[in-house]
Amino acid sequence: MLRDITIGQYFPGDTIVHRLDPRTKILIAIMFIVSLFFIKSFYPYLFILAFVVLTVRLSKVPFRYVLKGLKPLILIILITFTINIFMTKGEVLFSIGPLDVTKEGIRQAVFMALRLIFLITGTSLLTLTTSPISLTDGIEKLMSPLRRFNVPVHELAMMMTIALRFIPTLLEETDKIMKAQTARGADFESGNIVKRAKNLVPLLVPLFINAFRRADELAIAMEARCYRGGHNRTRLNELKFTRNDVLVLIITTVFFGVIVSTRYI
Amino acid sequence: MIIRLENVNYIYNPNTPFEKKALDNINLTIDETDFIGLIGHTGSGKSTLVQHLNGLIRPTSGRVLVDGIDTKDTGNLLKVRQKVGLVFQYPEHQLFEETIYKDVAFGPSNLGLSQDEVHERVKTAIELVGLDFEKVKDRSPFELSGGQKRRVAIAGVLAMKPRVLVLDEPTAGLDPKGRDQILGRIKKLYEEKNITIILVSHSMEDIAKLVNRIVVMHRGKIVMDGKTKEVFKQVEKLEEIGLGIPQITNFMRKFKEKGHPVDDTVITVEEAKMELIRFLRSKENA
């Protein structure tokens, strides 16, 4: 069950997509998201679909894997879908009780659902092909101009790195504690919501205690190695834009520019 | 026969790039009188194997029978978990209640027993691990020392009255005193309560001192299974897969190689002492 979470999970590989500079990929992801919100008719989605399919192909991440990222969000997609169907005014097709289903409603619902689906698949492609460490490196580099305004960019990036680094550790730990309590007859899977929430206590208490203990140990270990934060700190792997990055950026900028412009023609 | 594994295979993350075969066609029968030492180096599949014994993990193929109940039968899992108690590594990290009494009572309460029965079991379990029930019952488990916490955690499993107790490295990270206390208690459980015990350990000394049967795992397979002494005789095979023999056995082997006719199959310091005394006496007499 816990293994179904693919958001933020890296799918190792050595393809052209994996090798791109994280900054390139972050910028593309931002352009991707922005252009999604500019789309107002259906046919530009074809371009978006082509883009997603091409990226998935190039990155050799199995499709099944990308789709798995949708699973935890299916409920949200369904809710937006139903709300849109019933809440849009227009030409009434048929009614269910007091609720009217309109032609515009159906169009809007499908449209919004597609937007959400592409939003999720597109962005999870970023995290699937970029290791968390290089992702935060990229974010840190991209945000570094903000340092002039006293934004603690490095510290923020470090916090993100640590948080990402500990997601799998905490998941593993959750799994372990769950098993240990299950071995003592605990039941996490049946009963109503109140009962289930109560049943989580034997899981959450040790999980929190262990998380704090870990944080404490990590802080001490970092201090022991003289960690002092961003100022004058050099890095092991400097990020470098290659010709590929420049090329990909130019192509994608033009591509997303076209998609945005479809709104105005 | 109490537990039987038939052609058990287990694969982690099947059909992903993280796919890993953890158990490879395991056949194993565990009898009531067994005190098994399960050894193998990290990643050999020991932990996966022990989690099969009480249905926490169910085999990808093959089956596991506990007292005749198939662990695939999810309706009977609570019964299986009552019969086979599993103590994980660092079990003290799973304590969660305000008082020791409540924490130990967690297992039996889940079995749906009456208050009196729960009370009785908690008291017995806490005493079985060598703690003073009246003194500790109302204290918070988080106030205790590492060794005591671990004993409370083991009591939490014992309170389920299992017939088989599986312990995954119960002495990891403890000082020598804490280690001896825990091992002493485990031995008592086997001898006085007739509980079948499966002990996972990296310490060949502990294994030699306690168990009567050794199962050796390597890359998801059982590569050796036999009486303690028989297994420790096969030094080359053990060393080949990165394991060893007790230090004292090693010493006796080297001593014999030097040309002294001693029995080099002894596995505990006590046995070695007797053997050396015998050897020295026979030399004196000659």
Residues of A in contact with B91 (CB under 8 A): 180
Which residues form the domain of A81? 1-130+237-265
Cα distances from A128 to residues A122, A168, B18, B30, B83, in angstroms, run 10, 14, 14, 44, 43
Instruction: Say if residue B110 is in the same domain as residue B30.
Output: yes
Instruction: Say if residue B197 is in the same domain as residue B270.
Output: no
Element (H, E) at A207: helix A201-224
Q: Residue B65 domain-assigned? A: yes
Q: Which of B66, B76, B96 to mutate to test the interface with A (most CBs of A within 10 A)?
A: B96
pLDDT tens for chain B, residues 1 to 286? 689 999 999 998 887 777 889 999 999 999 999 999 999 988 899 999 999 999 999 999 999 999 999 999 888 888 999 999 999 999 999 899 999 999 999 999 999 899 999 999 999 999 999 899 999 999 999 999 888 999 999 999 999 999 999 999 999 888 888 889 899 999 999 999 999 999 999 999 999 999 999 999 999 999 999 999 999 999 999 999 989 899 999 999 999 999 888 888 889 999 999 999 999 998 888 7
B160 near B82, Cβ under 8 Å?
yes
Q: How many CB pairs under 8 A join A and B?
A: 55
B118 near B108, Cβ under 8 Å?
yes
Q: What is the DSSP letter of A6?
A: -
Contact check, Cβ <8 Å, A183/B91: no
Is A181 at the interface with chain B, CB within 8 A?
yes
CA dist A120 and A118 (Å) reads: 5
Residues of A in contact with B90 (CB under 8 A): none
ipTM of the complex as predicted: 0.85
Cα distances from A78 to residues A73, A82, A124, in angstroms, run 9, 6, 19
Q: What is the pLDDT of residue A253?
A: 94
CA dist A138 and A131 (Å) reads: 11
Q: Are strands B164-168 and B84-87 parallel, antiparallel or unpaired?
A: parallel
Number of domains forming the structure of chain B: 2
Instruction: Say if residue A51 is in the same domain as residue A30.
Output: yes
Q: What is the DSSP letter of A72?
A: G
Q: What is the pLDDT of residue B80?
A: 92
A51 near A255, Cβ under 8 Å?
yes
Instruction: Say if residue A63 is in the same domain as residue A169.
Output: no
Q: Residue B236 domain-assigned? A: no
Residues of A in contact with B156 (CB under 8 A): 184
Q: Can you point out the beta strands (E) in chain A?
A: 92-96, 99-102
Residues of B in contact with A206 (CB under 8 A): 93-96
A184 near B157, Cβ under 8 Å?
yes
Instruction: Say if residue B71 is in the same domain as residue B160.
Output: yes
Q: What is the DSSP letter of A10?
A: -
Q: Residue A172 domain-assigned? A: yes
Q: Residue A135 domain-assigned? A: no
Q: Residue B166 domain-assigned? A: yes
Q: Residue B11 domain-assigned? A: yes
- Nearest alpha-carbon partner for B50 in B34, B32, B30, B75: B30
Contact check, Cβ <8 Å, A11/B54: no
Q: What is the pLDDT of residue A1?
A: 42
Q: Residue A180 domain-assigned? A: yes
Tokens of B23: 């158990």
* A99/chain B closest Cα distance in angstroms: 43
DSSP chain B: --EEEEEEEEEESTTSTT-EEEEEEEEEEE-TT-EEEEE--TTSSHHHHHHHHTTSS--SEEEEEETTEETT-GGGHHHHHHHEEEE-SSGGGG--SSSHHHHHHHHHHHTT--HHHHHHHHHHHHHHTT--HHHHTTS-GGGS-HHHHHHHHHHHHHTT--SEEEEESTTTT--HHHHHHHHHHHHHHHHHH--EEEEE-S-HHHHHHH-SEEEEEETTEEEEEEEHHHHHH-HHHHHHTT----HHHHHHHHHHHTT----TT--SHHHHHHHHHHHHHHHHH-
Residues of B in contact with A184 (CB under 8 A): 81, 106-107, 110, 156-157, 160
Q: What is the pLDDT of residue A234?
A: 80
Is A195 at the interface with chain B, CB within 8 A?
no
In chain B, what is the greatest distance between 2 CA atoms, to the nearest angstrom? 70
Instruction: Say if residue B124 is in the same domain as residue B256.
Output: no
Instruction: Say if residue B89 is in the same domain as residue B21.
Output: yes
Number of domains forming the structure of chain A: 2
- Nearest alpha-carbon partner for B102 in B63, B138, B75, B150: B138
CA dist B48 and B220 (Å) reads: 9
Instruction: Say if residue B136 is in the same domain as residue B216.
Output: yes
Q: Residue B235 domain-assigned? A: no
Instruction: Say if residue B117 is in the same domain as residue B77.
Output: yes
Instruction: Say if residue A177 is in the same domain as residue A194.
Output: yes
pLDDT tens for chain A, residues 1 to 265? 455 554 457 888 889 999 999 999 999 999 999 999 999 888 999 999 999 999 999 999 888 888 887 888 888 899 998 888 888 888 888 888 788 888 888 888 999 999 999 999 998 899 889 988 888 889 888 988 888 898 888 888 888 888 877 887 888 899 999 999 999 988 887 778 888 888 889 999 999 999 999 999 999 999 999 888 767 778 787 888 899 999 999 999 999 999 999 888 7
Q: What is the pLDDT of residue A189?
A: 79
Instruction: Say if residue B130 is in the same domain as residue B255.
Output: no
CA dist A98 and A100 (Å) reads: 7
Instruction: Say if residue B176 is in the same domain as residue B266.
Output: no
Cα distances from A242 to residues A15, A21, A59, in angstroms, run 15, 8, 18
B154 near B130, Cβ under 8 Å?
no
Query: Least CB-CB distance to B157: which of A184, A187, A205?
Result: A184
Instruction: Say if residue A107 is in the same domain as residue A92.
Output: yes
Tokens 């799998």, residue? A168
B136 near B99, Cβ under 8 Å?
no
Instruction: Say if residue A21 is in the same domain as residue A94.
Output: yes
Q: Residue A53 domain-assigned? A: yes
Contact check, Cβ <8 Å, B88/A176: yes
Query: Least CB-CB distance to A185: which of B78, B88, B95?
Result: B78
Summarize pLDDT for B34-67 with one digit per residue, the tens.
Answer: 999 999 988 899 999 999 999 999 999 999 999 9
Instruction: Say if residue B91 is in the same domain as residue B195.
Output: yes
Instruction: Say if residue A102 is in the same domain as residue A225.
Output: no
Instruction: Say if residue A123 is in the same domain as residue A248.
Output: yes
Q: Residue B10 domain-assigned? A: yes
CA dist B218 and B60 (Å) reads: 19
Is A101 at the interface with chain B, CB within 8 A?
no
Which residues form the domain of B197? 3-228
Query: Least CB-CB distance to A184: which of B13, B51, B110?
Result: B110
Instruction: Say if residue A101 is in the same domain as residue A156.
Output: no
Q: What is the pLDDT of residue B88?
A: 93
CA dist A53 and A116 (Å) reads: 16
CA dist A77 and A117 (Å) reads: 8
